[in-house]
Amino acid sequence: MDYVFPKNFWWGSASSAPQTEGESLRYGKSPTVWDHWFDAQPERFHQGVGPADTSTFYQNWKADIALLKQLNHNSFRTSISWARLIPDGTGEVNPEAVAFYNQVIDELLAQGITPFINLFHFDMPMVMQEKGGWESREVVDAYEHYARTCFSLFGDRVKTWFTFNEPVVPVEGGYLYDFHYPNVVDFRRAASVAYHTVLAHARAVKAWRDSGRDGEIGIILNLTPSYPRSQHPADVKAAHIADLFFNRSFLDPVLRGSYPEDLVALLREYDMLPACQPEDAACIRDGVADLLGVNYYQPRRIKCRDDAVNPASPFMPEWFFSAYEMPGRKMNPYRGWEIYERGIYDILTNLRENYGNPRCYISENGMGVENEQRFEKDGKIDDQYRIEFVREHLKWLHKGISEGSNCLGYHMWTFIDNWSWCNAYKNRYGFVSLDLDTQKRTVKRSGEWFSQTAERNGFDE
Ligand code: BGP
């Protein structure tokens, strides 16, 4: 075989509770920010489809786990819904939720699929949002309680935990660019949300270690390598600042235990540093992750700004750089995101050279496609574009490993077409297609290809 992966390489896919479970207000679950926002503004959601209309994992978990098995997954990530497990955010656990997650975990294990469990995937319980969400230290305390509860209920069987999925997304979406609730546009508040998320991560890491259980705990970051338009110092500086805001604001504290000095200096200069407590630095220092999940979809192309910033305008990251549409870049014609396979290798190289080569894996990578039904042939989605997408990314990942990167696996986003926040079902990502009317599941060609690749632990050119 041309591309053979290390023994015990993790082949699988990722999903999340709020995007798959459904039953968003039943079986004891309380509303999240998504349920609340959908009630208030359904027009913000693609075709008016909200968080109740998911791929029904709450009912179909057993059949879906059988599908994972058919796809030769040896590992699978999902999350535990805070609002389902602890409906009032801080108090009693919901026994129906415990029974549900126990069944899922036990079935995954029975099928030889290692469960990777993530705690927070954009789904703040509304009752916690009303207390200030991630702007509030009280919510950090409540999250720690939720983390401890999960570890004590499920930590005997779940050995791979993650504190957050893509923590920068709620910051960008909810507090800078208005694509998540609470639709705030305010850098100072965004900085406080980001800071408290890092603190919450560190508190959960400590809680896991306090539990004395064997296993590991990490975090999942979406990394977007920032490439400057040119080697001109102004472009290089612009790309560096974009990297500080969108990657290193999380990467450095969770892998090095401290923030990049130049990010701190920049925020201080503009009086944007979030409020800290004296004990925070030690907490963050001790919260270094055992394992990093990397979600990689696309890079950032950056140039320096052509015009001067109006100092009277609200402070934003874009004061320091502009996005750059690189001529000739390869685009996903069905989603509008750039496809740059080498980015996965550049991320691994950066982690190896600058962050001590941490244990890591690709925790999401995937290709969203609009109106994917048009590619159906003989009753199946013939998604050759997705096979090529995965294969080309895997080649670069393979190169990274052959040069010494400590990359342990590859998970695809995602195993079944699922509900995706405001985009609902606009972009399909699954190895398995979902008929929204009948809930019928059909493995796509890419699912068959992945299944073979996982079974052989590699592929030919
Ligand atoms: C990732 C998130 C997933 C999923 C995916 C697809 O960033 O972790 O939860 O939503 O993006 O996004 P979209 O449907 O917007 O293309």
- How sure is the predictor about 338, in pLDDT bands with cuts at 50, 70 and 90? very high
First to last CA, the chain: 8
Task: Indicate whether residue 166 lines ligand 1 (CB < 6 A).
Answer: yes
The predicted pLDDT at position 36 comes to 98
The predicted pLDDT at position 174 comes to 98
Residue-wise pLDDT for 204-238, tens only, equals 999 999 999 999 999 999 999 999 999 999 999 99
Task: Indicate whether residue 172 lines ligand 1 (CB < 6 A).
Answer: no
Report the chain's C-alpha Rg in angstroms: 21
Pocket test of ligand 1: the residue of 220, 420, 422 to mutate, having most ligand atoms within 8 Å of its CB, is 420
pLDDT (average), residues 430-456? 97
Q: Which of 270, 271, 262 is nearest to 319 (CA)?
A: 270
The predicted pLDDT at position 290 comes to 98
Residue-wise pLDDT for 115-152, tens only, equals 999 999 999 999 999 999 999 999 999 999 999 999 99
The predicted pLDDT at position 131 comes to 98
Rounded distance between C-alpha atoms, residue 418 and residue 427, angstroms: 9
Q: Which of 262, 152, 270, 256 is nearest to 208 (CA)?
A: 152
**Ligand 1 closest atom vs CA 337:** 16
Count of domains observed in the chain: 1
Residue position matching structure tokens 């699978």:
76
The CATH number of residue 353's host domain is 3.20.20.80
Task: Tell the burial category of 458 from Cβ atoms under 10 Å away from its Cβ (0-12, 13-18, 19+).
Answer: middle
pLDDT (average), residues 240-251? 98
Task: Indicate whether residue 365 lines ligand 1 (CB < 6 A).
Answer: no
Q: Is-above-0.80 flag for pTM? A: yes
Cα of 92 vs centre of ligand 1, distance in Å, is: 31
Which amino acid residue places its CA nearest to atom 14 of ligand 1?
420
Rounded distance between C-alpha atoms, residue 249 and residue 256, angstroms: 11
Task: Indicate whether residue 413 lines ligand 1 (CB < 6 A).
Answer: yes
Which amino acid residue places its CA nearest to atom 10 of ligand 1?
420
Two structure tokens written together for 349? 């190289």
Task: Indicate whether residue 13 lines ligand 1 (CB < 6 A).
Answer: no
3-state secondary structure of 155: coil
Cα of 122 vs centre of ligand 1, distance in Å, is: 11
Task: Indicate whether residue 368 lines ligand 1 (CB < 6 A).
Answer: yes
Cα of 258 vs centre of ligand 1, distance in Å, is: 28
The CA distances from residue 434 to 392, 418, 419, in Å, are: 25, 8, 11
**Ligand 1 closest atom vs CA 429:** 6
Q: Are the CB atoms for 29 and 81 separated by under 8 Å? A: yes
pLDDT (average), residues 96-112? 99
The predicted pLDDT at position 353 comes to 98
- How sure is the predictor about 260, in pLDDT bands with cuts at 50, 70 and 90? very high
Task: Indicate whether residue 129 lines ligand 1 (CB < 6 A).
Answer: no
Task: Indicate whether residue 165 lines ligand 1 (CB < 6 A).
Answer: yes
Cα of 21 vs centre of ligand 1, distance in Å, is: 16
pLDDT (average), residues 166-186? 98
- How sure is the predictor about 66, in pLDDT bands with cuts at 50, 70 and 90? very high
Residue 67 structural domain = 3-459
Task: Indicate whether residue 414 lines ligand 1 (CB < 6 A).
Answer: no
Q: Are the CB atoms for 415 and 73 separated by under 8 Å? A: yes
Pocket test of ligand 1: the residue of 335, 421, 423, 427 to mutate, having most ligand atoms within 8 Å of its CB, is 421
Task: Indicate whether residue 427 lines ligand 1 (CB < 6 A).
Answer: yes
Cα of 342 vs centre of ligand 1, distance in Å, is: 20
**Ligand 1 closest atom vs CA 220:** 8
Residue-wise pLDDT for 370-408, tens only, equals 999 999 999 999 999 999 999 999 999 999 999 999 999
Cα of 420 vs centre of ligand 1, distance in Å, is: 6
Per the prediction, the chain carries an average pLDDT of 98
**Ligand 1 closest atom vs CA 426:** 14
Rounded distance between C-alpha atoms, residue 91 and residue 122, angstroms: 21
The predicted pLDDT at position 191 comes to 98
Rounded distance between C-alpha atoms, residue 352 and residue 367, angstroms: 26
Rounded distance between C-alpha atoms, residue 372 and residue 333, angstroms: 12
Pairing of strands 380-381, 376-377: antiparallel
Cα of 172 vs centre of ligand 1, distance in Å, is: 14
The predicted pLDDT at position 381 comes to 98
Catalytic residues: 364
- How sure is the predictor about 51, in pLDDT bands with cuts at 50, 70 and 90? very high
Task: Indicate whether residue 16 lines ligand 1 (CB < 6 A).
Answer: yes
**Ligand 1 closest atom vs CA 19:** 9
**Ligand 1 closest atom vs CA 122:** 9
Cα of 267 vs centre of ligand 1, distance in Å, is: 29
